[in-house]
Amino acid sequence: MATTDTPRMVVGVPRENRAGETRVALTPTALPQLTKAGFDVVIESGAGALAGYPDAAFTDRGARIGTRDDAFAADVLVQVNVMDGDASNAELSKLRQGQVVIGAVAPFARPELVKAIAGTGATLFALELVPRSTRAQSMDILSSQAAVAGYKAVLIGASELPKMFPLLTTAAGTIAPAKVFIVGAGVAGLAAIATSRRMGSLVEAYDVRPAAREEVESLGARFVELPLETGQEEGSGGYAKQLSEETIKKQQELMAKTVAASDVVITTAQVQGSTAPVIITTEMIKGMAPGSVIVDLAAEQGGNCEPTVAGEIVDVDGVKVIGVVNLPGEIPVHASQLFGKNVANFLGLMVVGGKLDTGVDDDVIKESVVAAGGDVVNNRVREALGLEKLPEPEPPAPEPAADDTPAAEEAAK
């Protein structure tokens, strides 16, 4: 008897090879959701080891353990860092026409990588471009990984500070709580505020978006009010927008006093697709007490502090400026779990009738695709590559009102 079973789609997860990366793109907790959606999953042997997930944890949830080539042969290739962020990666030759590649791409910082993947014929989705909407929250890797980074940044600050965070009253006297200042009240900043408060410090926070005040105060921190016209009611899609040089300079002047009075400063300000704004100057840092600590979460994008060096600790008159990189990779168990859930939710949007449809009519999918059909299809990436802009799709024509239809006109006669 002939079978009519449709071959199941295969998701491949290779081990991450980027220096310092400990995460894995899918974890066992995400596998049942993918299996139910019609996927089989093949994991490169050892892919989850650094994240605390041995091969047996995957096979117990129905995955198959295979070679790296097995993972790359899948219909859908999922990576935390697509091609390790390297446009000259030799494994680009393993990609093929019709294959789907999903992960973090940094498309505006690495447009050459997008172009290289487009040349293979594969369809590339950059998860950083998932819109920041309520509906897309469950697929937003920037938010999930930022929450982990904000938490870890506070632990680093507390570890490096030669003081304790909480207020303590002892027989030997009272110890005043540490003062923590959070710059930027996005997901990372809010996680940093909550963690600092749980550790007993006094917390202040600032954001260019006035709407952030309510969130900051709801977590028990004091919102630092700076009399600036920033034009940041909310920012496009929930992102802050780049400020003018004049506004940034004024911001620095007004913020100097708060920075000087802080024991720990955590900076989180980033602008999508741009170099991070320099908010804290060397002169401002010199006003802090020796032993104070700054943790710069924007180090990989250039840093929010003038002396920041990514991956290094810079001493400025006794103040440590820590240029942290890949903080989620320092908490790989939960960072991977969140990333994998984001991926599984994203893939679920493209499953139609048991098959993968990359052209599905969905805003989340449309805004995230950067390469398809052998070409770069995101205009911002094309601009970075010096390519001609593609025509924007025309908005759908409005449907006629009920009383304008021919049938309505006829009935009115």
Residue 380 appears among annotated catalytic residues:
no
Residue 151 appears among annotated catalytic residues:
no
Mention every residue, 6+ apart, whose C-beta is less than 8 A from residue 203: 179, 180, 181, 182, 193, 196, 197, 219, 220, 221, 222
Rounded-to-integer distance, Cα 241 and Cα 274, Å? 10
The tokens of 14 are what?
A: 């290779």
Taking the CB of residue 315, how many other CB atoms lie within 10 A of it?
10
- The answer to whether 130 touches 103, Cβ cutoff 8 Å, is no
Mention every residue, 6+ apart, whose C-beta is less than 8 A from residue 198: none
Taking the CB of residue 286, how many other CB atoms lie within 10 A of it?
12
* Beta bridge pairs of residue 321: 294, 314
The tokens of 404 are what?
A: 């304008």
Q: In whole angstroms, how large is the CA radius of gyration of the chain?
A: 24
Residue 132 appears among annotated catalytic residues:
yes
Tell which residue, 82, 20, 13, 93, has the closest CA to residue 53: 13
The tokens of 73 are what?
A: 């042969």
Residue 239 appears among annotated catalytic residues:
yes
Among the options 137, 198, 252, 380, which is catalytic?
Answer: 137
Rounded-to-integer distance, Cα 385 and Cα 128, Å? 19
Among the options 79, 99, 143, 336, which is catalytic?
Answer: 143
Angle between helix 332-349 and 141-160 (nearest 10): 170
Report the residue count for the chain.
413
Among the options 18, 61, 68, 132, which is catalytic?
Answer: 132
Among the options 18, 239, 252, 362, which is catalytic?
Answer: 239
Q: Is the dihedral of CA 328, 330, 331, 336 positive or negative?
A: positive
Among the options 140, 207, 263, 296, which is catalytic?
Answer: 140
Tell which residue, 308, 317, 237, has the closest CA to residue 268: 308
The tokens of 146 are what?
A: 């930022």
DSSP one-letter string for 299-353:
GGGT-SBTT--TT-EEEETTEEEEE---GGGGSHHHHHHHHHHHHHHHHHHTEET
Rounded-to-integer distance, Cα 297 and Cα 308, Å? 10
Residue 79 appears among annotated catalytic residues:
no
In single-letter form, the type of residue at position 389 comes to K
Q: Any idea which residues carry the catalytic annotation?
A: 132, 137, 140, 143, 239
